[in-house]
């Protein structure tokens, strides 16, 4: 069988899921020992166990490009590779694909599951092999797709609001303590930043865009005045954490941040800057 290689993309991929609509699943693997006297230590052991897996699901729509040299293609096998360390992603397969508007051959939706090993943005690379109606086999590479750092955000692997609250408070205390130890090998760090984000925009961010990660609101005392703080807890594959306390003060938003992986700060900075532009 002769395979011909094309220099131009034949398949067009469109992201159809967003941060607001994606719901991540731990496959019923949740930490439950929240009454432990050594909660943080037991939780870290749980994350290292073989029963726990953190995955990110991303959905796409695929069809032929409008300027593709074919109207329909068959037996499509789409191979997927990543720019950073992830477990192998299975191929996506489609019996038939066509151009937009072709009768009886609509676009196909598919979801891939990514199991990252690093808390960093990921680029997906694709290779498609297919057969035309004339029986010829071709290989083409669709355009890469970027999975942002924010797309890796996962809720805490615990059930219930009370569980999230308890884990958030315990992790915050533990990470702050380890950050202040100033040990050279410690990856824990604290930070503080100011965002140009209105009071209403902050509330929308937490209750809509980040609703999966919102622990609950609490009260901070700032110059003898009670200020609402939105506590946000994010799990980052494969075992990192990002904890934030966001409060609106003096016409802006103050973000107190602690993390057990300081290497995420450049990526987080990009996310926070993009939110100011919205």
- φ and ψ at residue 266, rounded to 5 degrees: -60, -40
Name residues whose C-beta falls within 8 Å of residue 92's C-beta, 6 or more positions apart in sequence: 62, 77, 78, 80, 110, 112
Weakly modelled stretches of the chain, pLDDT under 50: 21
pLDDT, position 101: 80
pLDDT, position 218: 66
Give the residue among 88, 68, 69 at the shortest CA–CA distance from 80: 88
In whole angstroms, what separates CA 276 from the centre of its chain? Answer: 19
Domain parsing of the chain, residue ranges:
3-152, 161-277
Assess if CATH 3.90.550.10 describes domain 161-277. no
Radius of gyration over every alpha carbon of the chain, rounded to an integer in angstroms: 23
Cα–Cα distance list, 264 to 35, 211, 257, 267 (Å): 30, 21, 11, 5
pLDDT, position 227: 74
Q: What is the rounded CA–CA span in Å between residue 22 and residue 59?
A: 9
The arrangement of secondary structure in 3-152, i.e. its CATH architecture, is Sandwich (2.60)
Name the burial class of residue 227, with classes exposed (0-12), middle (13-18) and buried (19+) by CB atoms within 10 angstroms of its CB: middle
pLDDT, position 21: 47
Q: pLDDT tens-digit profile of 175-219? A: 999 998 766 678 999 999 999 999 899 999 999 999 989 987 666
Q: Are 56 and 212 in contact (CB under 8 A)?
A: no
pLDDT, position 87: 85
**What's the predicted TM-score (pTM) here?**
0.87
Q: Are 53 and 98 in contact (CB under 8 A)?
A: no
């Amino acid at each position: 069988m002769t395979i011909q290689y094309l220099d131009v993309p034949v398949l067009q991929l469109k992201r159809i899921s967003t941060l607001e609509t994606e719901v991540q699943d731990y496959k019923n693997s949740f930490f439950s020992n929240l009454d432990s006297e050594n909660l943080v230590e037991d939780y870290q052991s749980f994350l290292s166990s073989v029963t726990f897996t953190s995955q990110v699901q991303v959905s796409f729509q695929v069809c032929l490009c409008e300027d593709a040299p074919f109207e329909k293609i068959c037996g499509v096998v789409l191979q997927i590779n990543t720019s950073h360390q992830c477990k192998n992603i299975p191929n996506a397969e489609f019996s038939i694909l066509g151009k937009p508007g072709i009768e009886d051959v609509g676009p196909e939706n598919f979801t891939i599951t990514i199991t990252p090993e690093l808390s960093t943005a990921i680029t997906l690379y694709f290779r498609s092999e297919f057969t035309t109606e004339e029986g010829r086999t071709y290989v083409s590479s669709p355009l890469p797709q970027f999975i942002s750092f924010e797309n890796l955000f996962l809720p805490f692997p615990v059930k219930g609001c009370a569980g999230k609250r308890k884990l958030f408070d315990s992790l915050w205390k533990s990470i702050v303590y380890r950050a202040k130890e100033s040990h050279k090998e410690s990856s824990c760090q604290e930070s503080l930043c100011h965002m140009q984000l209105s009071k209403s925009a902050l509330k929308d961010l937490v209750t809509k865009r980040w609703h999966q990660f919102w622990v609950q609101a609490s009260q901070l005392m700032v110059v003898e005045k009670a200020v609402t703080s939105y506590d946000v807890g994010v799990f980052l594959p494969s075992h990192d954490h990002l904890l934030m306390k966001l409060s609106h003060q003096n016409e802006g938003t103050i973000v107190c941040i602690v993390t057990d992986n300081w290497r995420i700060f450049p990526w987080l900075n990009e996310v926070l800057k993009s939110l100011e532009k919205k």
